[in-house]
Homo-oligomer: A and B are copies of this chain.
Amino acid sequence: MTLEKENTQVKNVLDKVTILYAGDSGDGIQLIGNQFTNNTALYGNDLSTFPDFPAEIRAPLGTLAGVSGFQINFGNSSIFTPGDLCDVLVAMNAASLKKNLSRLKKRGTIIVNTAGFDKKNLRLAGIDPADNPLTNSSLEGFKVHEIDITKMTRENLKESSLGSKERDRCKNMFVLGFIYWIYNRSLDSTIDFLERKFKGKQEVLQANLKVLKSGYHFADTSETFSNRFEVKPAEMQPGKYRNIVGNQATALGLIAAAHRSDMNLFYGGYPITPASDILHELAKHKNFGIKTFQAEDEIAGVCSAIGASFGGDLATTASSGPGIALKGEAIGLAVMMELPLVLVNVQRGGPSTGLPTKTEQSDLLQAMYGRNGEAPMPVIAAQSPSDCFEMAYEACRIAIEHMTPVFLLTDGYIANGAEPWKFPSAEALKPIVLKVKDARAEEDAPYLPYKRNEDLVREWAVPGTAGAEHRLGGLEKDKETGNVSYDPENHQEMVKIRAAKVNRIAKHIPKQELDSGTTSSKLLILGWGSTYGSIKTAAKELQSEGVDVAHAQIRYIHPFPENLGEILSNFDKVIIPELNDGQLIKLIRDRYLIDAKGLNKIKGLPFRAQEIKEEVLNHLK
């Protein structure tokens, strides 16, 4: 084990760094992760984060199950993933070290809180106290910095009137201060944050500030660290940026679409991990006239949204796998009634309750086919935290302009992850064309709610519109009057029309583009949704290593972009990496009859770029 005690404080400049903060779920890891993220964003780096916490609210203290992690990758150029392996691992206790050591780079840096390696903690982590990793030689080769953070924190707060539990809770600030110093950062953003958070709680505020600064100064004066590092701000497109988390972006996308289309936003849903934060975010902005309705279950959630849509609101709901399963019947009703409705599925590990806090992409086929009868509807997917905004907005646009329910797929990874976002101005948002029926005179010909325009879209007449009274329902309907029709020919025609209507949306979405590479590349990596960052990183690295691959990421899954088949036809080899057992690949093989190969990871975790690179190289051997 190398304990560095040199005196040189060189300021090293790095291109990018990955830090993994890990500790017990009571240690405030997520909080310092978020603080460091905001600080990094403000500093101007590009970045990507990956919070990873246990399913339990407070999993048993000190155990492997209780470990909470927050990984951040930041750099001076574009960053697309939270990083495969870390440069720095902060381990607040034995369990967090044990669990995460494999994620550290060779010769990486470990910062440990030695107080977390006492007998009790070792036992809880399932480590024989005789085998304490800090004292056996298992960490040889890493740069280990041992600090008794707990003790330092207590020392700092000797005078404080806070209880001992509350004092100990400040120890995360010590770590944060310590890291801020190493990466040459200002404490301001966190001081600001603490001042806002503990307004009115002076004691707590002062304690936190004190420990934060103490961590900073300790790094400076203790000289445990040989170097101070700097990651220069990234070259990014000029513009105004903010940091954004995926679920928050989704919520903002819905709000923006309501604003742009001049509609009221209605959200009906039932809490479920990892989708609840969309509800929480929307509920914060009720001054936008947003009606959030926490229903008794997911069925009521989607049904209330259907009711609101019938009433003329922009109606939305969000859930995750099990909840989406429950909504299937009602979604079919929305398909039949041809009302706008946005359904967000923040996917998580399945099947059944599965792995609620882990990420997965395994609900794509459910989105496509999880309803009785022929019930086609658009399915789109977001590819990064900030793209959740764009795609939520698109989901609303398509729903309103094409009178249809729309599925937006995100997942736990991008929903909880964060990245810098060059946010748009309200004025720059794509227009959304909302056509609602005007009042009609009594003398007019009978109103035909199912008459369609050239995109096969029917008209929207909302209650309160005189002369357009009509009845909708789940029984098959006559193709013009919308009245119940059992006519065999009408049924076939309506099934075909509903399918054609959705297919025609292909004319109103962007063409598929290659993200990198060319159509004459040897191999195409075809991804969808949240695998974007990992694939992009892998493709770029491969290309820079001279491997001729191309990368395309599908965001519009049903219908596919019109030119997708043409693009695919250029490649001999197509690899489809998915965080499932092979779902997009089924759609691609069925539709285009190409022998695409899957790369499937079903571990509740995103791809490492390395995993994709290896697979590509295998295929090119």
Contacts and interface: CB of A to CB of B under 8 A. Distances in A.
Interface stretch (A1-9, A114-122, A360-368): A360-368
Interface stretch (A72-80, A220-228, A239-247, A322-330): A322-330
A430 interface: no
A589 interface: yes
A575 to B, nearest CB: 16
Given A329-B326, A332-B352, A604-B488, A372 B321 contact: yes
Nearest to A372: B321
Contacts of A594: 593
A65 B358 CA distance: 52
B489 A372 contact: no
A65 B486 contact: yes
B581 A374 contact: yes
A333 to B, nearest CB: 5
Contacts of A595: 593
A374 B351 contact: yes
A589 B593 contact: yes
Interface string A365-388: 110111111110000000000000
A289 interface: no
A615 to B, nearest CB: 15
A602 B374 contact: yes
Contact of A349 (B329, B491, B586): B491
A134 interface: no
A351 B332 contact: yes
Interface stretch (A191-199, A468-476, A555-563): A468-476
A416 to B, nearest CB: 16
Interface string A209-238: 000000000000000000000000000000
Contacts of A373: 321, 349-352, 354, 360, 362-363
A568 to B, nearest CB: 13
A336 interface: yes
A54 B475 CA distance: 13
A492 interface: yes
A590 interface: yes
A389 B363 CA distance: 34
A373 B351 CA distance: 4
A138 interface: no
Interface in A589-618: 589-591, 593-595, 601-605
A207 to B, nearest CB: 34
A530 interface: no
Nearest to A473: B353
A372 B362 contact: yes
A495 interface: yes
A576 to B, nearest CB: 12
Contacts of A587: 590
A247 B65 CA distance: 50
A496 B473 CA distance: 41
A531 B604 CA distance: 41
Contacts of A352: 329, 332-333, 335-336, 372-373, 375, 474-475
A55 interface: yes
A89 to B, nearest CB: 18
A374 B351 CA distance: 5
The list of the 8 closest CB pairs from A to B, nearest first, reads A350-B373, A321-B372, A351-B373, A353-B474, A488-B603, A352-B474, A351-B375, A365-B369
22 contacts: A65-B486, A321-B372, A322-B329, A326-B326, A333-B353, A336-B351, A350-B373, A351-B498, A354-B373, A354-B474, A360-B373, A362-B372, A363-B372, A363-B373, A366-B369, A369-B370, A488-B603, A488-B604, A488-B605, A491-B602, A495-B602, A590-B590
Given A326-B328, A333-B352, 20 more contacts: A320-B372, A322-B329, A324-B372, A325-B371, A332-B351, A349-B476, A349-B491, A350-B373, A351-B375, A352-B375, A353-B475, A354-B474, A354-B475, A355-B486, A366-B369, A366-B370, A374-B581, A488-B605, A492-B602, A492-B603
Interface of A: 54-55, 65, 320-322, 324-326, 328-329, 332-333, 335-336, 349-356, 358, 360, 362-363, 365-366, 368-375, 473-476, 486, 488-489, 491-492, 495-496, 498-499, 580-581, 586-587, 589-591, 593-595, 601-605
